[in-house]
Amino acid sequence: MKKVTGLGGVFFKCDNPKSMNEWYAKNLGLATSEYGATFEWRHADDSSKKGTTAWCTFPKDTKYFDPSTKPFMINYRVENIVALVEELKKENVTIVDEIAEYDYGKFVHVLDPEGNVIELWEPKEDLDPDSAAG
């Protein structure tokens, strides 16, 4: 079973997300919005398929990265999140929450051995019809 298929996003805390987004737009040319920036790319094995990677700033006091105390979070694109979570449970990996499903895919958060929260994302376009009920 394929596990991580790519980088879904990089998220970090900062004192002023709005001004950080503006700085990155002005100085590095990122096309930012209030949510950050989205980079589009094509799948290497099928160039007709598009993918995205997010870059997002969060307020310093966000609880979204909890229980991690780190100022960043990495989001990994995964294939078959339901099966992957079952494998992670067997390996005694800490699963922070339940799998949540949104219009753009399924998400779950886990902790690595040093307490970094990791967001796993199965994008909607990658969902297998048999696992969509997940």
Q: Give per-residue pLDDT as tens, 21-76.
A: 999 999 999 999 988 999 999 988 888 888 899 999 999 999 999 999 999 999 99
Quick one: pLDDT band at residue 132, thresholds 50, 70, 90? very low
Q: Show the tokens assigned to 88.
A: 């992670």
CB count within 10 Å of CB 78 equals 25
For the chain, domain boundaries: 4-126
- 4-126 homologous superfamily: 2,3-Dihydroxybiphenyl 1,2-Dioxygenase, domain 1 (3.10.180.10)
| Alpha carbon distance, N-terminus to C-terminus of the chain | 17
Residue linked to tokens 């990996």: 93
Distances (CA, A) of 81 to 6, 30, 52, 108: 13, 30, 18, 8
d(CA 69, CA 47): 38
Q: Show the tokens assigned to 30.
A: 């990122």
